[in-house]
Structure 1
């Protein structure tokens, strides 16, 4: 599913830009980390920076599983994509219970699309 993998990477890249904006102090914290901070405190900025790295790793696994790139054995990318699928399904639930309406309305659909795309990639 190269198309699904590429779409997954595009959305992850957009999320990475969003997370980097949070890292650098953009006042959009209501969309992330429970929405309790307009500008994230240092510990959550670190979390946002880690998220960017996680998104890059997920993108690499997705592209590998879709055979766009070849960086890990097939068995690794297959298992990784099932884990990624579970991660995004979990993300749907966690975002759905957020105290922040902005986060719920924005991130639940984003996680749902990411879950669907990662499922398609995992199924190969």
Structure 2
């Protein structure tokens, strides 16, 4: 999604609190690329068996905070899309963190 946003997909209502209905402005598109890189790094930590436990904990906490932030979003489409996705991501991160 963040890559699509960066390339101008009109999905602004699903991100940043629905601040932009269609395409994101150029600065926000650049930030979407940064967010995509952060998410890729977080996925790498979760999937990499050699990741230190402290990194797993950080990823789990960031995911849980993202869940709370998206659940509180003023944008209904953002809440409806990302709250369940981030809930599942948080549960998955917790499971990986605990079973290690």
Instruction: Mark the runs of 5 or more structure 2 residues left unpaired by the alignment.
Output: none
- Size of the aligned set, in residue pairs, is 98
**Can you list the C-alpha shifts for 1:29-73, whole angstroms capped at 9, x where unaligned?**
111111121111122111110011111211221122xx2xx4xxx
Structure 1 outlier segments of 4+, above 3 Å: none
1:36 to 4, 19, 25: 19
Contact 1:33 1:44 in 2 (8 A): no
Give the unaligned 5+ runs of structure 1. Answer: 1-17
Greater relative contact order, per chain length (Cα 8 Å cut-off, separation 6+): 1
In the alignment, which of 81, 87, 91 is matched to residue 66 of structure 2?
91
Q: What CA RMSD, in Å, does the superposition of the two structures yield over aligned residues?
A: 1.2
| Deviation digits for residues 71-118 of structure 1 (CA, Å, limit 9, x no counterpart) | xxx5xx211111111111111111112111000111111111110001
